[in-house]
Amino acid sequence: MLSISPTGNIIGSGIFISPKGVLEHSGSVGLALFIWVLGGGVTALGSLCYAELGVAIPKSGGDYAYVTEIFGGLAGFLLLWSAVLIMYPTSLAVISMTFSNYILQPVFPNCIPPAAASRVLSMACLMLLTWVNSSSVRWATRIQDIFTGGKLLALSLIIGMGFVQIFQGHFEELRPSNAFDFWMTPSVGHLALAFLQGSFAFSGWNFLNYVTEELVDPRKNLPRAIFISIPLVTFVYTFTNIAYFTAMSPQELLASNAVAVTFGEKLLGYFSWVMPVSVALSTFGGINGYLFTSSRLCFSGAREGHLPSLLAMIHVRRCTPIPALLVCYGATAVILLVGDTYTLINYVSFINYLCYGVTILGLLVLRWRRPALHRPIKGAPEEEENGPCQPSPLPSVDKPLKTQ
């Protein structure tokens, strides 16, 4: 049985990639910080709704299991293939490319690391973690726990340095007169893109819903993990961005391809190498978490007959879904060969929120069809429906391909 916090699956590459995209489309420091807080609020509402679904329908598979149970096999089939072919491979590709870029940055201090080298290192990292997840569930969860601690220490360093900067009076960009000094007037489309960029950093909040059957006492531990993890992640993300703005101007942040590295170079001096290493550790844990989750989704879909039956097989002694893990690796390897990072983020965030919207609609339908169903937790789907569902169609107003 599994006992694991979703914090490690949420905190990954997003906080080191998304600040630039959020600020670019927000038009001001103050609005960018508000977008981060809003992302945490929407994630909290979504988590409450998913917690209700998780204990009402205690099946592994997350969105797929719930949509299939409520709307039938066709809806589940469409959602499953969207996740297997687009959502998870794209997220894994973005995170693994971030890992390789930050690992290679100290080797190429004066230029951008070669794309070929980044892709090869990304493939190697994915191959290593696929082997780990194939060998032992315990190893996979231990890696997740270890690297969660490492990434929180790295972000604590950034936040701590930010507070030192504030106490020393270096917070000009955070003063209200400067924070809301817009260098552009953001349109509705820009705001939607800013939200999607920020929401990528919160990806993984529904991680435990994909492994409900492997949780120890899910009725108690699922809501407990959510109530602890989401506020913690929102706090960490918001104050990390505040720390960035104590050391960098908006123009410097927008000009940086590695925000944490630029932050470290300005404040850490000789020890600036700590930042790329810390980001690499963070993203390594994120890749592990996504592989763990996506393989369980493939396994669940194959068990329902929506994917080849081979993917429902597990190793006799290790009890790990090796065929599903290999499919996840292969799909991610293909995505790695194409696409720009920020464009991929817009694509995957857009599709993620469409799926969230369908799942929350399913919660409303379930309440209507089965009002007597025992629900130890009861979320607030009416608010959630107006949260993540609303921004989903808006990026079409402003051409989501134009992210830079």
Cα separation, 224 vs 183, in Å, equals 42
- CA gap 63, 19 in Å, rounded: 28
Sorted by where each starts, the structural domains of the chain and their CATH numbers stand as: 7-397 (1.20.1740.10)
Give CA–CA dist 387/38, Å, rounded.
9
Task: Write out the two tokens for 203.
Answer: 């990806």
**Maximum pairwise Cα distance, the chain:** 64
pLDDT of residue 31: 94
Give the Cβ contact number of residue 272 at 10 Å.
18
The pLDDT, as a whole number, for residue 279 is 82
Helices and strands (H and E) in the chain: how many:
17, 0
Written as six digits, the tokens of 85 are 């072919």
Give dist(CA 236, CA 214) in Å, integer: 28
Ordered mean pLDDT values, 10 residues apiece, the chain (404 residues): 58 83 92 94 88 81 85 89 88 88 78 82 93 86 74 82 92 88 86 91 78 67 79 91 93 84 84 81 83 82 84 81 89 84 82 90 90 66 41 43 42
Residue 45: what residue type?
A: L
Rounded CA gap, 400 and 390, in Å? 16
Check residue 396 and give its pLDDT.
Answer: 40
Q: What whole-number distance in Å separates Cα of residue 125 and Cα of residue 281?
A: 12
CA distance 311 to 223: 29
Which residue is listed with tokens 């969660």?
148
Q: Say whether 384 sits in a helix, a strand or coil.
A: helix
Token reading at 130: 């696929």
How far is residue 302's CA from residue 294's CA, in Å, rounded to a whole number? Answer: 12
Classified as helix, coil or strand, 56 is helix
Question: pTM value?
Answer: 0.79
- Closest among 173, 184, 194 to 242, alpha carbons compared: 173
d(C-alpha 62, C-alpha 210), whole Å: 4
List all residues 6 or more positions away from 49 whose beta carbon is below 8 Å from its beta carbon. 359, 360, 363, 379, 380, 381, 384
